[in-house]
Chain A
Amino acid sequence: MTDLAAAADMHAPITNITLEESPIRERLLSLPVLGQADPVEPTADGTEAVAGPVRPESATLMTAPSVVLPDVGAASFPLDVQLETVHGADDRVQVTDTHRYPWSATSSLLITARDGSQWIGTGWFISPRTLVTAGHCVYIPNSPVPARNGWVMGIQVLPGRNGTHLPYGSVTASQFWTVRGWSDKGDENYDYGAIIVPTAVGETVGTLGFGIYGDDDLTDRVVNIAGYPGDKPAGTMWYDARMIASMNSSKVYYDIDTAGGQSGAAVYLIEDGQRIGVAIHTYGGAVTNSGTRISEPVFKNLSDWKV
C-alpha cells in the first residue's frame, strides 16, 4: 500500500448508523444556509461584529508535527514546554445575541461517554441534521479508563445556547460519524467527526459552509472561532479571531484563544459575507492551538455525512 493510499484509508469513515445508502457528492465548496435566524452582518476585515479586542496579526509558529494520540484526553507531540490555550491576554469576547446567525449555527455539546462521564464540547451545523465536531467528541479511543472507550452514548445538542437560555431548545443525538484514523489510531490528523440529530434543526438555526482552500488562500487569512469554553460561565459562547499562523496538509495552526470545551468548533473565514469552515478546532497548546484542516478527503466525508 502506498503512503497516499494508506493516508486515504485513514479517512475511511465509520459510523454506528445502520446504512441503507451512501451518497457520494463531489464538491469543493459547501455553501452556508442562513436558516430562519436573524443574521448578523460580518465586518469588512473578515471578522465578526462583536465588541472587544481582535488581534488579526499572528505570531510566527512552528510547523506541524505528525503524531498519534493515545486518548481523548491525550494529544501528543513532544514539546517539553508549558502549554496554555489562552496566549497572553485573553482576547475572547462573549457573544450574547446567540439566537442570531451565524451564532445560532453553533451548538453547545453535553457529551455522555460510555462510562457515564460527561464532557463539554462544541459543534456546528452543515446541513439540517448534521453537525461537524471533533472526532474525540464522538469516539474515545485507547482511554486509560477502559469503560470509556468507543462511541459516546449520547450528545445533547444545544444550538445557540446562552447560559441557561436555549433559544432553539435542545435535541439528543446518538448517531455519529468519525474515521478510522481517529477511531483505530487516535491520530490527531484525523480527529474529526459528525453528529446526526433526529430533527432538522439546521433548517431553523442555519448552517455554516465549508470548503477546501489551498495554502496560498489560507496564508495570512483571518479565521474565526466561536464556541463554549469550560473556563467561562456555563453554557456561554465566546469568540475570537486571528490570522492563521501555519498549516500542513492535515492541520491548521493559530493562536486564537480557546479553552477546554471549544473542541469541535468551526475555524471559519468570511468570504463575500459567507462563513466558510476551513478547519475543525481540536487541540490546545502553549504557543498555538490547532484544528483538523478540511482537506479533500475531509471535505468528501463531511459532504457525504450531510443529511
Chain B
Amino acid sequence: MAPAIVAGRVVDQDGQPIAGASVLFTASPVSVPDIAQVTASDGGFAMAAPVPGRYSVSVYAAGHAAVQREVDVTAAEPEVLEIVVGRETC
C-alpha cells in the first residue's frame, strides 16, 4: 500500500503562516524515521504516513506553545490539517 500524505499549514492565532516550525510524528501505528520537517514560508508541510491508523502530529515553533493534533489516516488521500499555534504563556 502506498503511503498517505499528512499535509497542512501551521498558522498563528491571526491566521498568519509560521515558517521554520518543526513538525513531527510523536505517535504512529508503526515505527517511523526519527526526522522532523521544517515548515516552509507559507507554513506548509507534507509528511508521509506509511500505513493507515492514528498519528499524533506535533508542532514546535519558537515563541509559541507546542501543539499536538491527532489525525486518523484512512486511505492514500491527503489528510489536510490547519494547525493553529498560540503564543507561549510562560
Contacts and interface: CB of A to CB of B under 8 A. Distances in A.
Interface of A: 69-86, 110, 116-121, 134, 136-137, 142-145, 188, 191, 229-234, 258-263, 281-286, 289-290
Nearest to A74: B50
A118 B38 contact: yes
Q: Which 6 pairs from chain A and chain B are nearest by CB?
A: A74-B50, A230-B36, A260-B24, A73-B48, A230-B22, A260-B36
Interface string B33-46: 11111101000011
B51 interface: yes
9 contacts: A71-B48, A73-B25, A74-B32, A118-B37, A118-B40, A120-B36, A145-B5, A145-B48, A261-B36
B47 interface: yes
A307 to B, nearest CB: 25
B46 to A, nearest CB: 6
B34 A289 contact: yes
Interface string B13-28: 0000000101111111
A116 B29 CA distance: 28
B48 A70 contact: yes
A298 B35 CA distance: 21
Given A73-B48, A230-B24, A283 B31 contact: yes
Given A143-B48, A144-B2, A73 B35 contact: yes
Contacts, number: 160
B86 interface: no
B22 A73 contact: no
Most B Cβ at <10 Å: residue of A79, A82, A232, A260: A260
A144 B3 contact: yes
A231 B34 contact: no
Contacts of A142: 3
A211 to B, nearest CB: 23
B81 interface: no
Given A263-B35, A284-B32, 13 more contacts: A70-B3, A75-B33, A76-B50, A82-B27, A83-B28, A136-B35, A231-B24, A231-B66, A234-B20, A261-B24, A284-B25, A284-B31, A289-B34
A289 B38 CA distance: 22
Interface of B: 1-5, 20, 22-38, 40, 45-51, 53-54, 58, 60, 62, 66, 76
A216 to B, nearest CB: 26
Contacts of A188: 31
Given A233-B62, A260-B35, A79 B29 contact: yes
Contacts of B20: 234
Contacts of B30: 74-79, 83, 285
A284 B22 CA distance: 16
A71 B3 contact: yes
A79 B45 CA distance: 26
Contact of B32 (A78, A229, A281, A283): A283
B34 A261 contact: yes
Nearest to A261: B36
Nearest to A134: B33
A78 B3 CA distance: 14
